Amino acid sequence: MSFYKKYVSACVWLLPAFVQAQPATIEGYAPAYKGKTVNLSTYKDFITYTPLPIASAEISDSGKFKFHLDELKNCTYVYLSIDNYKGDLYAVPGNYYRVVFPAPDTTHYENPYIEHTVNLELYIDDSTEVNNLIMDFNYQFSNFWMKNYQHFIKKEAAHYVDSFYDAMLLRYKDIHNPDFLGYMTYTIAEIGDNILEGHKTLAKKYIQGKPILYNNYQYMQFFNDYFEDYMGNMTLTREGGDIEKFIDKPDYPDLMEVLKINPLLRNDSLCELVLLKGLYEFYYSRGYNKENIKILLKTIGSSTRIMEDKTIAEDMLASFSDVVKGDNAPDFALKDSKGDINSILDFRGKYVYLAFFKTSSSASISQMEILPELHKQYGKKINFVFIDEDENYNDLVNFLKTNKKFCMDLFI
């Protein structure tokens, strides 16, 4: 549905809280994936991008599938995924969507081991529906880009982007859909950030005095790019030199006060969101005490009056692992394919190829196809360890019985 993913991405737009929940239906057609599973998901928040599964369905022999979203209150970004292909759309309460999931295109998506974004074909009768409006806007931007790409290359596109925005405001002057208008505004804001328009100019246009759209994907993408490594850079300044000290304490109120040195962050809500993003980035920096960051996130989660911040803090804590680049691997022991118990510590000081798989996942099996040859070449130097994620141990046993080429010391 989307194009130029560098500039245009997905979004969630909040409708007023009093909107009554209504069902929405997504009826799909994916004939190239008969018998496979299609998953419908969204994200819990747009800093950690924690996936939130909604439903799964098996694609019938006729290539059809259907989802009913019974309690949809807001226009919500959702994505459909089949194997390693993913396509998105925007589900609105009360709407009915007909979707065609494109067949695999190996000429464009040759790597079977990474996720590929595909464009869904959407059939919606209402021309003012948010997806149709977004597709129309994307078409307008495509024409604008092809006509003016040389100005982007020369880094002199700011004036042309402003003119394009004015033209789009005129084109959609009779459109009052807040979801689409938000998409359009923060798509253009993201373009401004990509062409390195000044931070003060961007803040004045798109942040200062504007509402925080916590569940708006496009807003949050712009927010994440605008404030990327903001706190890290601030620690290098005289004004932000105390940030490290207040993390070591750990001291949430004083951290907020340091950030408010920037007049833009004197809004408590925006300041707290910037702090959350900064702490998330700091957690994966070896220079900061991870336990102190967890304490700060727990403090925010328990004391904030903003439910979105509470959710983000909780998602961050849930997403953190004790395994960070450079750390020692945690100790764990599992039953192998022969029924013996093995500990990961048995491989201390050795090279290990560690992978996770599921016998029902075609993507996992595709990855495993290369393992026998790798094992043949490097088996004396590298230990190949696969961890099965199936709930039933017998699923692994039965899989190996019918896939004897994998029956080597790969599963240990």
Domain assignments of the chain as residue spans, ordered by start:
22-124, 134-226, 242-319, 333-406
- By three-state DSSP, how is residue 17 classified? coil
pLDDT at 339 over 50: yes
pLDDT band per the 50, 70, 90 thresholds, residue 9: very low
Q: What is the pLDDT of residue 77?
A: 92
Percent of the chain at pLDDT above 70?
Answer: 88
193 and 225 in contact (C-beta within 8 Å)? yes
Mean pLDDT of 29-49: 95
pLDDT at 18 over 50: no
Phi, psi of 252 (to 5 degrees): -65, -50
Q: What is the pLDDT of residue 303?
A: 95
**CB-based contacts of 277: which residues, under 8 Å, 6+ apart?**
47, 223, 224, 227, 230, 231
**Multiple choice CATH, 333-406, 3.40.50.2000, 3.40.30.10, 3.40.50.300, 3.40.640.10:** 3.40.30.10
Per CATH, 22-124 and 333-406 having the same topology is answered: no
> In which element (H, E) is residue 393 found?
helix 393-402
Percent of the chain at pLDDT above 90?
Answer: 57
More confident residue, 6 or 252: 252
Mean pLDDT of 85-111: 86
Q: What is the pLDDT of residue 176?
A: 93
217 and 46 in contact (C-beta within 8 Å)? yes
Tokens of 230: 């903001």
**Multiple choice CATH, 22-124, 2.60.40.1120, 1.10.3720.10, 1.10.8.60, 3.30.499.10:** 2.60.40.1120
Distance from first CA to last CA of the chain, Å, rounded? Answer: 43
Phi, psi of 390 (to 5 degrees): -65, 145
Sign of CA dihedral 235, 237, 243, 248: positive
Residue 270: CB atoms within 10 A of its CB come to 20
The vertex-202 CA angle with 284 and 89, nearest 5°, equals 70
Total residues found in the chain within this entry: 412
Report the predicted TM-score, pTM, of the whole model to 2 decimal places.
Answer: 0.74
E-strand stretches of 13-50: 22-29, 37-43
pLDDT at 347 over 60: yes
Please tell me the least confidently modeled range out of 209-213, 214-218, 247-251, 310-314.
214-218
195 and 161 in contact (C-beta within 8 Å)? yes
**CB-based contacts of 165: which residues, under 8 Å, 6+ apart?**
188
* Alpha-carbon gap, residue 378 to 358, rounded angstroms: 24
